Chains A and B, each alone.
Chain A
Amino acid sequence: MKTYDIIVIGGGMMGTSCAYYLTQEGLKVALIERGDIAGGTVSHTDGYIGASEKQPGVDSMQGAESMKLFDEMRKTFDYDFEYATNENDDPIGFVYFCDSEFEFEKAKEQVAKNQALGIEQYAVDPYILQQLEPNCAKDLTGGMWVPKDGAVCPFRVAFGFVEEAKKTGLLDVFTRTEVLDIKQDPNTKAVQGVVTDKGEFAAPKVVNAAGCWAPFIGAMVGMEVPIEPRFGQLTVSEKTGKITQNRLALEYGYYLTKFFQDGERPIDPLVKAYNVCLNITSDITGNTVVGGCRLFRGFSIKSEYRIISAVAQRGIRYYPMLKDFNCIRSFAGIRPFSLDHLPIVSDVEEVPGFYMACGHEGDGITLGPITGKLISQYATGKPLQFELAKELAWSRWQGRDIAAYKKKEEENSKALKAVEEAYLASLEK
Chain B
Amino acid sequence: MARIDDEMLVCRCEEVTVGEIREAIAQGAFDVVGVKRRTRAGMGLCQGRTCEKMVQQLISMELGVAPNETGVSSTRPPVRPVSYGALAEGVF
Contact = CB atoms under 8 A, between A and B. Distances in A.
Contacts of B87: 235, 308-309, 311-312, 327
A410 to B, nearest CB: 29
A327 B76 CA distance: 12
A384 B33 CA distance: 37
A177 interface: no
B90 interface: yes
A312 B88 contact: yes
Interface stretch (A126-134, A185-193, A316-324): A316-324
Interface in A33-78: 36-39, 43
Interface in A120-143: none
Interface string A250-280: 0000000000000000000010000000000
B79 to A, nearest CB: 10
A330 interface: yes
B84 A237 contact: yes
A313 B88 CA distance: 5
A330 B47 CA distance: 11
A38 B40 CA distance: 14
A323 B83 contact: yes
A303 interface: yes
A324 B77 contact: no
Contacts of A323: 83-85, 88
Contacts of B64: none
B72 to A, nearest CB: 14
A175 interface: yes
A235 B77 CA distance: 9
Q: Which bucket holds chain B's interface residue count? A: 20 to 34
Interface string B29-70: 111011001101000110100000000000000000000000
Count chain A CB atoms within 10 A of each CB in B40, B77, B81 and give the residue with the most: B77
A312 B31 contact: no
Nearest to A270: B90
Contact of B83 (A173, A309, A326): A326
A238 interface: yes
A306 B82 CA distance: 14
| Residue of B27, B47, B91 with most chain A CB atoms under a 10 A cut-off | B27
Contacts of B27: 159, 162-163
Contact of A328 (B29, B81, B88, B90): B81
A290 B87 CA distance: 13
A42 to B, nearest CB: 9
A176 interface: yes
Contacts of B29: 36
Contacts of A306: 92
Contacts of B76: 303, 329-331
A211 to B, nearest CB: 17
Contacts of B81: 238, 326-328
10 contacts: A36-B34, A155-B37, A175-B28, A290-B84, A305-B77, A309-B87, A323-B83, A326-B84, A327-B81, A330-B78
Question: Which 7 A-B pairs rank lowest in CB-CB distance, beginning with the nearest?
Answer: A323-B85, A326-B81, A312-B87, A312-B88, A305-B92, A312-B84, A313-B88
Interface of A: 36-39, 43, 155, 159, 162-163, 173, 175-176, 235, 237-239, 270, 285, 290, 303, 305-306, 308-309, 311-313, 315-316, 322-331
Given A173-B28, A306-B92, 4 more contacts: A36-B33, A36-B34, A309-B92, A326-B81
